[in-house]
Amino acid sequence: QKEVEQDPGPLSVPEGAIVSLNCTYSNSAFQYFMWYRQYSRKGPELLMYTYSSGNKEDGRFTAQVDKSSKYISLFIRDSQPSDSATYLCAMSRGGNYQLIWGAGTKLIIKP
Amino acid sequence: DGGITQSPKYLFRKEGQNVTLSCEQNLNHDAMYWYRQDPGQGLRLIYYSQIVNDFQKGDIAEGYSVSREKKESFPLTVTSAQKNPTAFYLCASRTGTGFTGANVLTFGAGSRLTVL
């Protein structure tokens, strides 16, 4: 069993919809939870990171962590075609511990 | 602008040849990383380096080699011993070694290697 599970999709939704992307994990020692966005043939770029449990909001994006369920989510409101990309979750204990990555979910926003 | 430059963007190799992928950063970051990305598998760590002249194997180091002679540079050599080298290779860096905060990585644009 992988330490981090993420549905690879693709997930296809119409423009303007609310998108929910999720990851589950098994290691309760993880403290930092990140979401990266990767456009085709490009390197990943950090969208948001969250420490421990709770919510964090940045514009149309909300990251949510539920440590009791070992489940993290990224919500995208008012989705745009430019949001079409692969979204990777990553998590770690922090410091010099390595990041553990999900497989990435391919998101397609249809105009 | 600060960032990470990877070259070449596309590379073709014949079986049995070694190839070297370049990674240069001007972010003054201490730690640098090489990842391999295959469809549906996320990122897998090949090698990482936290300081000059020191580097550690990641999860899939076999068939790869690195050097870290300068803080700014962390080249990756894909040797002929790597059985399935066709993949997208990503270089990343982060500031600080030994801190306790989030280990947020900055990535380059990647290099796609195809073995013919």
**Portion of chain A with pLDDT greater than 90, in percent:** 84
- Residue B100 reports pLDDT greater than 80: no
The pLDDT value given to residue A2:
84
CA of B98 vs chain A CAs: smallest distance (Å) = 6
- Residue B4 reports pLDDT greater than 90: yes
Q: Which residues in chain B are contacts of A8 at CB distance < 8 A?
A: 40
* CB A91 within 8 Å of CB A99: yes
Which residue from B48, B101, B109 is facing A42, i.e. has the nearest CB?
Answer: B109
> Rounded CA gap, A77 and A64, in Å?
14
Say yes or no: B101 contacts chain A, CB-CB below 8 A: yes
Q: What is the mean pLDDT of residues A90-108?
A: 90
- Inter-chain CB pairs, A–B, below 8 Å: 65
* CB B14 within 8 Å of CB B7: no
- Which residue type does A65 have? V
Mind listing the pLDDT tens digit for each residue in B60-85? 999 999 999 999 999 999 998 888 99
Which residue from B41, B102, B109 is facing A43, i.e. has the nearest CB?
Answer: B109
> Rounded CA gap, B87 and A67, in Å?
34
Paired tokens of B15: 């079986």
Paired tokens of B54: 């020191």
Which residue from B41, B102, B108 is facing A43, i.e. has the nearest CB?
Answer: B108
Residue with tokens 């105009």: A111
What is the DSSP code string of B71-116? TTB--EEE-TT-S---EEEEEEEES-SS--S----EE---EEEEE-
> Rounded CA gap, B37 and B55, in Å?
20
Mind listing the pLDDT tens digit for each residue in A48-86? 989 888 899 999 999 999 999 999 999 999 999 999 999
